[in-house]
Structure 1
Amino acid sequence: MTAAPSVATWATTPPLPRAISPEHAQLAIDGCDRRTSLGLRDRAVLLLLARLGLRAHEIIAFTLDDCDWDSGCLHVHGKGRHERLLPMPADVGEAITAYLSRGRPGSEDRHLFLRSLAPIRGFKPGSDAIGSIVRYPLRRAKVDAPHSGSHQFRHALAVRMLECGASLVEIGDVLGHRSPQTTSLYARVDISSLRSLAPPWPGDAR
């Protein structure tokens, strides 16, 4: 009895990252009303997601002391008390400055971003506050995003860095990955580069 060889299948757990397009991300950012305190806050948060690929809980954890204006850097508190220092892009710095000077409510709370409604304080850890900040601008901009969460901005940054030639190590450093295996997930997204490495199928007449 003959048997055909089995075809290799690739695990998709965790699944391939679903990234928002740069154009849609910019539409959401531009849709924030900079004449209002809410719009100033939301724009700063969206820029942090898009430019630095931060996790929601990292943005929630930011305090006023985490902005190092002298060096132009941000102190990011990641998973497992892992901290990293990231450069503050010019547009991110300008957005945070605008929020602090014209949008942030007066409060003794030292968190960088505060609720817009009473009680005026930082967002509760583990809440979906950043997810809500993402959903409303996307809805206003009528963007058909891959999903409604904040992680799509993080994935988009990783894919863009990969397309621009950044190594997986560099991407992992920016995103705060503790394990190279986590970052290697993004190698599957760069299909054009992977295709060039694939050997021809046996018997291919090319």
Structure 2
Amino acid sequence: MKWDLAKQDFKRYLQLERNLSNNSVEAYLNDVQKLESYCAYKQLALEDIDTRTIQQFLIFINEFNISPFTQARLLSGLKTFFSFLEIEYQIKSNPAALLESPRLNRKIPSVLNIQEIEALINAIDLSTLEGARNKAILEILYGCGLRVSELVNLKISNLFLDIEFIKVEGKGNKERLIPIGSTAIKYIKIYLDEIRPHIPVHAEAADIVFLNRRGKQLTRVMVFLIIKELAKKTGLSKPLSPHTFRHSFASHLVEGGADLRAVQDMLGHESITTTEIYTHIDKDYLQSIITQYHPRS
């Protein structure tokens, strides 16, 4: 059993049978590549790997101070790989099956308050073509709670602005409909009607909403840089990324009383437990409850 053939077949399985996104497929293959490199160092063939090998590999990886979340994802990837080999290559057993992932503490995500979001959006220079585009980007990130990959792959043909909905392709190429508010609609229309027609659009990006100045699809990295520059401009010191707007979108909906199942659908979460992280209550609210209702306050 050769590594290259096993990885090639595993990739095909992830793409065709699991219907995973390109980013997810690459993550799985990177996990397998790490184990392959370790086995080459230890002069072990793929069929020689047992549970002790995986344990020693995880101990070796841990010396690089990777986070428990990364360790858990790595082990999950290896379990999927060997489960595939059990079926496809009929190996005797999955050497990773009985290994437990590190215990994870779910962290409350960093969110922006409404004033901070407004400050970032108001810092955009609307006198430039890029500024009008960036305004629409931030309005839709916060207004619809998109992942950055969903944003850069958003298609014009999936905008149903007349009925105030957009369709996005999420993880695993799963599609979902998300309501879009009037403010985001306003600035997307400005961008599409007044800015985008002046960009020399490349043929492969003809149906893509957000383009760079050369008419190509905007990249994830570029969206990160846009937000980092605005944070610098406003003096915002919080950790900030496109995902912060997604967290803020969900947190503000839940704090405002939105049904958790509805938020789950809009975010595209498979499990409600992932969405429940947004049910955290801010300290000011807790303090007001104590002050108002506790007899010793």
Q: TM-score, normalised by structure 2?
A: 0.56
> Would you tell me which structure has more helix in proportion to its own residues?
2
Question: Which residue does 2:260 correspond to in 1?
Answer: 168
CA deviation profile, 1:51-86 (whole Å, cap 9, x unmatched):
111110010111111111332211111111111111
Tell me by how many angstroms 1:148 deviates. 2.3
Distance in 1 (alpha carbons) for counterparts of 2:259 and 2:104: 22
Question: Which residue does 1:54 correspond to in 2?
Answer: 146
Question: Which residue does 1:130 correspond to in 2?
Answer: 223
Aligned-residue sequence identity (percent) comes to 26
Tell me by how many angstroms 1:33 deviates. 1.7
Q: Is 1:38 aligned to residue 130 of structure 2?
A: yes
Aligned CA RMSD, in angstroms, stands at 2.3
Tell me by how many angstroms 1:103 deviates. 1.9
Aligned residue for 1:122, secondary structure, equals: coil
Aligned residue for 2:162, secondary structure, equals: coil
**Structure with max Cα Rg:** 2
Structure 1 residue ranges without an equivalent (≥5): 1-10, 197-204
Distance in 1 (alpha carbons) for counterparts of 2:164 and 2:278: 28
Give yes or no for contact 1:163–1:190 (8 Å, CA) kept in 2. Answer: no
Question: Which residue does 2:234 correspond to in 1?
Answer: 141
Letter in 1 for 2:200: G
CA deviation profile, 1:1-56 (whole Å, cap 9, x unmatched):
xxxxxxxxxx7633211101211111111111222110011111101111111110
Distance in 1 (alpha carbons) for counterparts of 2:182 and 2:280: 31
Query: Which of 93, 111, 114 is the aligned partner of 2:208?
Result: 111
Give yes or no for contact 2:255–2:281 (8 Å, CA) kept in 1. Answer: no
Question: Which residue does 2:249 correspond to in 1?
Answer: 157
Which gives a bigger RCO, structure 1 or 2 (Cα 8 Å, sep 6+)?
1
Letter in 1 for 2:126: R
Distance in 2 (alpha carbons) for counterparts of 1:70 and 1:20: 30
Distance in 1 (alpha carbons) for counterparts of 2:249 and 2:164: 20
Distance in 1 (alpha carbons) for counterparts of 2:262 and 2:162: 24
Q: TM-score, normalised by structure 1?
A: 0.79
Tell me by how many angstroms 1:150 deviates. 1.2
Q: Which stretches of structure 1, 4 residues or longer, exceed 4 Å deviation after superposition?
A: 189-193
Question: Which residue does 2:279 correspond to in 1?
Answer: 187
Tell me by how many angstroms 1:139 deviates. 1.6
Distance in 1 (alpha carbons) for counterparts of 2:279 and 2:137: 27
Aligned residue for 1:84, secondary structure, equals: strand
Give yes or no for contact 1:159–1:190 (8 Å, CA) kept in 2. Answer: no
Matched residues, number: 182
